[in-house]
Amino acid sequence: MTLRTFAGTTAVVTGAAHGIGRALALRLALAGSRVVVVDIRAEDAAAVVDELTAQGAPALAVACDVSSRADVAALGEQVAAWAPDGVQVLCNNAGVFTPRHAATATHEDWEWVLGVCLWGVIHGIEEFLPGMLESKRDCHILNTASMNGYLPSRHSTLYSTAKYGVVGLSETLRMELASTRVGVTLLNPAAVRTNISRAEEVRPERMTRSRQDPEDEAFADYGLSPALDPEQVADLALNAMSAGREAVFTDHVLKPLLEQRFARVLDAFVTLPSALPER
């Protein structure tokens, strides 16, 4: 299903106070959407709403920790009161990163990264997909994954675990909804100028690390192209949604890396006997 126009829609964008989320909110408003700006810090969400309303765009700020199902349920109630006609665009974009390897990560690290990056997407779908299906209107879900949802590194254990989940969820959901009026697009950013490296500043107290030790090295070098501005990524995402595309990548450097990865996967079949022994 293709959402050919954003005009007259209500869009919910999580992680919308900064980076790609903020850019999505601004671009959607420019395209004619009423935007619900969702972020864990109320003052940051309100600042983006001030930008939008100054431009004459209807917008609502909601503070929400997407890793909490109760918070997302409360978000749904606020959105329903503000937009009785429901939500047509859902951008599950909130994400966090912590530089921890599997050997040094605490349980709280795992809880936090998976809670925001994977469970945040699940919670958004739980809360808003039923209403999208009931509305019988053209709707669209944009799930933000990452290049690390296809190409892990030794520095991305927690993050890649979550983002691989988002990739699998989105690909399956797209098939599941193929006969409906709800489309699904998967956004896979590479290098983008965001402040995700400062995500620890918004880690909830309930997920504070149970021990303190030196941070691991944070990022791997894939030889990526120079980082894009978030607005460029948002434009790619909106164009992909409008075209009904399954996925959007942001860097051509990833293509040969993906070809190499899938070649390694296919090589695993070389050792498979042509005829397996009978039981």
CA atoms of 81 and 76, how far apart (whole Å): 9
Residue in 154, 167, 140 with CA at minimum distance from that of residue 237:
140
For the purposes of burial, counting CB atoms within 10 Å of the CB of 201, is it exposed (0-12), middle (13-18) or buried (19 or more)?
Answer: exposed
Q: Quick check: is 159 catalytic?
A: yes
CA dihedral over 116, 42, 80, 84, signed as positive or negative: negative
Catalytic residue among 150, 159, 164, 222: 159
Q: Are 262 and 30 in contact (CB under 8 A)?
A: no
CA atoms of 204 and 96, how far apart (whole Å): 12
Residues acting as catalytic residues: 159
